[in-house]
Amino acid sequence: MSKFLVSVFFCAIYYVLIDYNSPLPIDSSMNIILQLLYFSLVSFVVRCRFYFVFLLNDSISNAAGLGFEGYDEQNRPKWGLASNIDILSIELSMNARNSLNSWNITSSRWIRRVVYERVSWSPTLASFLFSAWWHGFYPGYYLGFFTAGLGLMASKKMRRWCNPFFTSHGPVLKWTYHVATWVLTQAYMTYSCLAVSLVWFPAVWTFWSHHYFVPTVAPLLVLLLVPSRQSQRHKDSHDVNGDVKSGPSSDSNTKQD
């Protein structure tokens, strides 16, 4: 019942803000801050449709007895096996990977098994292109998913350089870093996800050209110019002689990175 009521809440939000369902036409008189706020609102309205559908589906599955996963520490039943969305993780995520992993969860796991863990060349990009093909054949799907893949790979590389420095020099710098990464993540996800929503190439081109294609070019420059750096988890999986440590967790940790 709680999931059903929350789904109705997001449905109501969508119909109240339905006029903001498309980012076009674009008001060129807006400054960059107002544009960011406006397009973030547009992106949120688009997500509300999916929040409604995902949560409604989840509540129906639970009412039918599907999705039970056991009991928690207080012996309360948990009903999360049929869940396809983690709204708080999406809205509050400070990196693209957590945000994407919280969207259409079961389909993401399926794509990981059938694509990410099977291809040897750029599994992240291959997974996003496969997801675009799976959704359909509109140009906006391929542009949006391709850009999201680039952003995810670039954010991984930058996080390995920046995270150790900012999170180890006091709480002020740490929380400044967290707020900045949250803003960048939300802005970038808005940029790529609205391309999927716009569908057609002329609309996507108009939307992106208004931002001078910066969110597309920036991750390409990061991937080409910023040197790679091993993550700490990857380093921890090797001993001093360079051999991989034995144990079931070393392979999974490397894949997560």
Return the pLDDT at 238. 47
Give me the catalytic one of 57, 98, 101, 104.
104
Cα(145)–Cα(108) distance, rounded to whole angstroms? 13
Per-residue pLDDT, 48 = 93
- Average confidence score pLDDT of the chain: 83
Residue among 107, 99, 101 nearest 82 (CA): 107
| Residue 24 CB partners (closer than 8 Å, separation 6+) | 198, 203, 206, 207
Instruction: Provide the 8-state DSSP code for 70.
Output: E
Structure confidence by residue, pLDDT tens digits, 114-127: 999 999 888 988 99
Which whole number is the average pLDDT over 185-196?
Answer: 87
The gap from C-alpha 246 to its chain's centroid, in whole angstroms, comes to 32
Each residue's pLDDT tens digit, 48-83: 999 999 999 999 999 999 989 889 888 888 888 889
Indicate which residue of 135, 210, 211, 234 is catalytic.
Answer: 135
> Which contiguous run of DSSP H or E holds residue 163?
helix 139-166
Mean predicted confidence (pLDDT) in 196-217: 85
In angstroms, the Cα distances linking 241 to 36, 233, 237 are 49, 17, 11
| pLDDT > 90? residue 198 | no
Task: Look up residue 115 and give its DSSP letter.
Answer: I
For this structure, is 104 an active site residue?
yes
Structure tokens at 101: 């992993």
Q: Is the pLDDT of residue 17 over 80?
A: yes
Q: Which DSSP helix (H) or strand (E) runs through 77?
A: strand 77-78
210 in active site: no
Give pLDDT, residue 36. 81
Is the backbone of residue 67 left (phi > 0), alpha (psi -120 to 50) or beta?
left
pLDDT tens readout for residues 160-181: 888 888 878 778 888 888 899 8
Q: pLDDT tens digits, residue range 239-250?
A: 444 444 444 444
Tell me what pLDDT residue 254 has: 39
Global confidence as pTM: 0.80
pLDDT digits (tens, 9 = 90+) for 99-117: 888 898 988 899 999 999 9
